[in-house]
Amino acid sequence: MRALFVALLLSYASGSGKAAGASGAKGNRFVCTAVPAGTDLSCPVETTNRVQSTSPQEEELRNTIIQLRETILQQKETIVSQQGTIKELNSKLARCEADARSRGNARRKDYSKNTMGDLPRDPTETVEQLGKTMQSLKDRLENLEQQLRANTTGGMFPNELRDLLKRRLTDLESQLLTRVAELEEEKSQLYNETTAHRQRTENTLNSLLERITELEKSNSAFKSPEDFKVSLPLRTNYLYGRIKKSLPEMYAFTVCMWLKSSASPGIGTPFSYGVPGQANEIVLIEWGNSPMELLVNDKVAQLPLAVSDGRWHHICITWTTRDGFWEAYQDGERLGTGENLAPWHPIKPGGVIILGQEQDIVGGRFDATQAFVGELSHFNMWDRVLRPIDISAMANCSAYMPGNVVPWVDANVEVFGGATKAALEICEDRLFDS
Ligand SMILES: *[C@@H]1O[C@H](CO)[C@@H](O)[C@H](O)[C@H]1NC(C)=O
Ligand SMILES: *[C@@H]1O[C@H](CO)[C@@H](O)[C@H](O)[C@H]1NC(C)=O
Ligand SMILES: *[C@@H]1O[C@H](CO)[C@@H](O)[C@H](O)[C@H]1NC(C)=O
């Protein structure tokens, strides 16, 4: 702020040594003097100029005036310190604004956290405080006046001096009022500036959020209905995708998908199919340090697949009720086969396919430790065993076949709990990635 404190200094301007009260009031004024910071601010009233140096009345008035001046200085300091707070806040806001601009492409969550810091203290608090101070000063002045009035009858005090003092008190009061009004004005201006700044920052953030939301919306209109992926970034029991379509009764199936995960230990559950009475009708899971497993009707086969290197992989699993024969493919290559996995069991219809979570009851009771973490796409299902050549053609990007019982299409997949859909990298980029 200003380097100078404006201090209210009461001075008896008097060149003569005569008693001021007797010589007239004109030469006696309250003077608002600029004093450099750090100056000794003790009352400059010169004792030689005092009207009646021994009068206790004057002594008390003088003390009151000194107290008033100190009060004003304190108020000033309060305001100055609050201005410091507001300045600091302003610079915080400026940083926040700059950050927000420079991170235009960052995720939404970066904006949702509170970057505002502390808000300025309510200015009405200060104004109230000033009001209280004013009131107590007025009370004291009135009290003093009353005493003066009372003591006049005793003839102890010359009328002129009494009038002079009264005038001075009135002057002082009006100066105080002016100062308080000024301080209030200043405070209100600062508060308005801060408010305006915060408003601007909020507007900027809001428009950024709107743009991000629009971008996200336009993202959901994918180039074609199958060119999207589901992202499950956290191991939780509430992020998941759900296939709107159920399965018919089946005596064989092939399920294929693209996966990208670096979760450890175990990538979790890419998908599970639960039916009433059997939550583990079909489950693909890699849990803890176990290898990947296929469950059919709660029977288990261990699969020789390993995909948790953070790159895209294409996997397919085939199964037939005949002898419970199964095959496991990774990136177009058949890495394992087996039999006696739920042989002669027909896959039950009418259940729920969940992406990313293992179901303990149909469509629910997920377990965070079994959740899939990563990205998943082209989850397609057929009610037959696909040929190796079909599978390798899909895996090397030379063909794309939608599943005949579950095709991967945008409208068929819902996401929940913060799981998101995003555009899928083109097939060649996924290949290059792996
Ligand atoms: C007025 O007189 C009373 C006693 O009569 C005294 O207590 C009081 O301090 C006096 N007031 C002033 C302002 O001198
Ligand atoms: C601050 O804003 C209030 C309300 O908008 C207004 O009444 C007041 O005059 C403003 N003060 C200053 C100093 O601009
Ligand atoms: C992709 O796989 C199919 C089927 O196995 C094969 O005929 C084709 O040559 C492969 N293409 C490439 C580029 O590897």
Atom of ligand 2 nearest to the CA of 192: 1
Residue 91 to residue 99: CA distance in whole angstroms: 12
Residue 281 has which token pair?
A: 């009708």
- Asked whether the whole model's pTM tops 0.75, one would answer no
* pLDDT value at residue 149: 65
C-alpha to C-alpha distances, 378 to 11, 44, 250, 318, 407, nearest whole angstrom:
90, 88, 21, 16, 8
Atom of ligand 2 nearest to the CA of 186: 13
Closest CA to 358 of 247, 274, 266: 274
Kindly give the distance from the C-alpha atom of residue 322 to the centroid of ligand 3, in angstroms, as a whole number.
29
The answer to whether the CB of 430 falls within 8 A of the CB of 259 is no
* pLDDT value at residue 344: 94
Residue 270 to residue 285: CA distance in whole angstroms: 7
Closest CA to 426 of 220, 215, 227: 227
Tokens 């209109």, located at residue:
221
Secondary structure (3-state) at 331 = coil
Sequence spans of domains, the chain: 4-219, 228-433
Residue 137 to residue 133: CA distance in whole angstroms: 6
Closest CA to 353 of 340, 342, 345, 362: 362
Amino acid letter, 337: T
* pLDDT value at residue 215: 65
The answer to whether the CB of 66 falls within 8 A of the CB of 43 is yes
Atom of ligand 3 nearest to the CA of 388: 5
Closest protein CA for atom 4 of ligand 3: 393
193 Cβ contact list (under 8 Å, min separation 6): 86, 90
* pLDDT value at residue 216: 63
The answer to whether the CB of 45 falls within 8 A of the CB of 62 is yes
Q: What is the pLDDT along the chain (434 residues), one digit of tens a residue?
A: 333 333 333 333 333 333 333 333 343 444 344 444 444 444 444 444 444 445 676 777 777 777 777 777 777 777 777 777 777 777 776 776 676 566 554 444 443 334 343 344 555 666 677 677 767 777 776 776 676 666 555 555 566 666 777 777 788 778 788 888 888 888 888 888 888 888 888 888 887 777 777 766 655 567 788 889 999 988 888 899 999 999 999 999 999 999 999 888 899 999 999 999 999 999 999 998 899 999 999 999 999 999 988 899 999 999 999 999 999 999 999 999 999 999 999 999 999 999 999 998 888 888 888 999 999 999 999 999 999 999 999 999 999 999 999 999 988 999 998 898 988 888 888 887 65
Pocket test for ligand 2, best of 186, 192, 195 (most atoms within 8 A of CB): 192
C-alpha to C-alpha distances, 200 to 46, 123, 367, nearest whole angstrom:
54, 20, 44
Residue 194 to residue 203: CA distance in whole angstroms: 14
Phi first, then psi: give them for residue 423, nearest 5 degrees. -65, 140
The answer to whether the CB of 33 falls within 8 A of the CB of 204 is no
The answer to whether the CB of 369 falls within 8 A of the CB of 255 is no
C-alpha to C-alpha distances, 359 to 101, 245, 284, 352, 370, nearest whole angstrom:
43, 17, 11, 9, 10
Ligand nearest to the CA of 394: 3
Closest CA to 299 of 314, 277, 282, 323: 282
Kindly give the distance from the C-alpha atom of residue 398 to the centroid of ligand 3, in angstroms, as a whole number.
6
* pLDDT value at residue 147: 67
The answer to whether the CB of 12 falls within 8 A of the CB of 49 is yes
User: Residues with beta carbon inside 6 Å of ligand 1?
Assistant: 56-57, 60, 147-148, 150-151
* pLDDT value at residue 120: 45
Kindly give the distance from the C-alpha atom of residue 63 to the centroid of ligand 1, in angstroms, as a whole number.
15
Handedness of CA 326, 328, 333, 335 (dihedral sign): negative
Residue 254 to residue 318: CA distance in whole angstroms: 4
Atom of ligand 3 nearest to the CA of 397: 1
Handedness of CA 35, 41, 43, 45 (dihedral sign): negative
Atom of ligand 1 nearest to the CA of 144: 13
424 burial (CB, 10 Å; 0-12 / 13-18 / 19+) is buried
Query: Within 13 Å and on the Cβ side, how many CA atoms surround 182?
Result: 10
**Ligand 2 binding pocket includes 337 (Cβ within 6 Å):** no
* pLDDT value at residue 345: 95
| CATH of 228-433 among 2.40.10.120, 2.60.120.200, 3.30.70.2340, 3.40.50.800 | 2.60.120.200
Closest protein CA for atom 13 of ligand 1: 57
Residue 44 to residue 38: CA distance in whole angstroms: 15
394 burial (CB, 10 Å; 0-12 / 13-18 / 19+) is buried
CB atoms within 10 A of CB 227: 16
Tokens 């200060």, located at residue:
126
* pLDDT value at residue 117: 39
The answer to whether the CB of 384 falls within 8 A of the CB of 267 is no
**Ligand 2 binding pocket includes 55 (Cβ within 6 Å):** no
Ligand nearest to the CA of 190: 2
Region label for 384, one of left (φ > 0), alpha (ψ between -120 and 50) or beta (otherwise) = beta
* pLDDT value at residue 378: 95
**Ligand 2 binding pocket includes 188 (Cβ within 6 Å):** yes
Secondary structure (3-state) at 218 = helix
